[in-house]
Amino acid sequence: MPTISSESPTDTTSAPNRLAETLPFLRRYARAATGSQTSGDALVRATLEAALEDPVTHEQISASPVGLFRAFTAMWSSVDPQADTSSEALAQLTVSQLARVPSFARQALLLNQLEDFTLGETAEILGVSEDEAGDLVNEALDDISREAPARVLIIEDEPLIASHLEDIVRQSGHEIVGNATTAGEARVLYDQHRPTLVLSDVQLADGSSGIDAVDAILRIETVPVIFITGFPQKFLTGGGHEPAFLITKPFREDTVKTTISQALFFGANLVE
């Protein structure tokens, strides 16, 4: 996530503004961690509901991004999928949705590689030591190295970005079935190759939309999709159908590899 400083004597960002800036990225993490927009957003809402009722939690989530993510982690770990809940946000979730919790190692990896928290910050969020956080990240990376290869369709109209993505995908042990620069090309390549994962930009060369391209594909078959965009906040509002997996441009290789692994881990639709 973009660096958002904790409150300090020289920090001019107010707590409400800092919280508003951080919330979209908590939604991204929550969706990636649960594999679902519905589950992730509901858990974020439940965290905010808890903060309204508890001054200590409210102070924690307002203090810094680490505090907000730590409060979310505490909320998530406290949920019993078999128990009734009075939280309006959690009441909509099914037992199966709440039970789909990835390993602690994957949570550490997402915090460190997707949201760009340091190992020390990741440790604080998860309530472990920094050494333990490092071990968890390495454990998740070992899991990724043993994953079965996927067949990947890239939808990206910028040649340099497309080439970079291709290199990352191949380095991760996956196969590129094609690169589309328009929504029409994406549909043709999908019909020809039936990929098992799609990486898609939002705005394409001919003015067409990667969102439309993905929607057309998902009407045929459910396939994991990752959107890549320079404007992530537009897709992390918590309203309507939004991506479960989202990478911000410019991106780091480790971020792409981690998100690919998480999308394949769930094998989930990008929206619910």
If you write DSSP's letter for every residue of 226-247 in order, what string do you get?
Answer: EEEES-GGGG-SSSSS--SSEE
Domain co-membership, 41 together with 121: yes
Q: Are 117 and 166 in contact (CB under 8 A)?
A: no
The answer to whether residue 3 is domain-embedded is no
Domain at 97, CATH number: 1.20.140.160
User: Which of 96, 124, 144 is the endpoint of a domain?
Assistant: 144
Paired tokens of 143: 């899991």
Q: What is the SS3 assignment for 13? A: coil
The boundaries of the domain holding residue 111 are: 15-144
Domain at 236, CATH number: 3.40.50.2300
Q: Can you tell me which residue has the tokens 């994957």?
A: 106
Domain co-membership, 67 together with 35: yes
User: Which distant-in-sequence residues (6+ apart) come within 8 Å of 245 by Cβ?
Assistant: 31, 32, 224, 225, 226, 227, 259, 262, 263, 270
In angstroms, the CA 136 to CA 134 distance is 5
Domain co-membership, 85 together with 166: no
Is the four-CA dihedral 82, 240, 202, 154 of positive or negative sign? positive
Domain co-membership, 220 together with 181: yes
Domain co-membership, 98 together with 180: no
Domain co-membership, 163 together with 123: no
Q: What is the SS3 assignment for 35? A: coil
The answer to whether residue 6 is domain-embedded is no
Q: Domain count for the chain, please give it.
A: 2
**Bond before 224 cis per omega within 30 degrees:** no
Which 8-state DSSP code applies to residue 224?
-
| pTM for this entry | 0.86
User: Which of 121, 144, 167 is the endpoint of a domain?
Assistant: 144
Domain co-membership, 134 together with 167: no
Which helix (H) or strand (E) is 200 found in, with range?
strand 197-200
Q: Are 29 and 46 in contact (CB under 8 A)?
A: no
Mean pLDDT, the chain, as a whole number?
A: 86
Judging by beta carbons within 10 Å of its beta carbon (0-12, 13-18, 19+), is residue 27 exposed, middle or buried?
buried
The answer to whether residue 9 is domain-embedded is no
Domain co-membership, 138 together with 246: no
The answer to whether residue 10 is domain-embedded is no
Residue stretches of the chain with pLDDT short of 50 = 2-12, 81-84, 94-99, 268-272
What are 13-64's pLDDT values in tens digits? Answer: 577 788 889 999 999 999 999 888 988 999 999 999 999 999 999 999 999 9
Sheet holding 175-180, edge to edge: 175-180, 151-155, 197-200, 225-229, 246-248
Paired tokens of 60: 């924690």
Paired tokens of 159: 């040649």
Q: Are 39 and 75 in contact (CB under 8 A)?
A: no
Domain co-membership, 119 together with 163: no
Which helix (H) or strand (E) is 199 found in, with range?
strand 197-200
User: Which distant-in-sequence residues (6+ apart) come within 8 Å of 85 by Cβ?
Assistant: 79, 91
The answer to whether residue 1 is domain-embedded is no
Domain co-membership, 20 together with 133: yes
User: Which of 125, 144, 163 is the endpoint of a domain?
Assistant: 144
Backbone angles phi, psi at 198, to 5 degrees: -125, 130
CA dihedral 264, 265, 270, 272 (to 10 degrees): 150
Provide the angle, in degrees to the nearest 10, between the axes of the packed helices 183-193 and 210-218.
Answer: 30
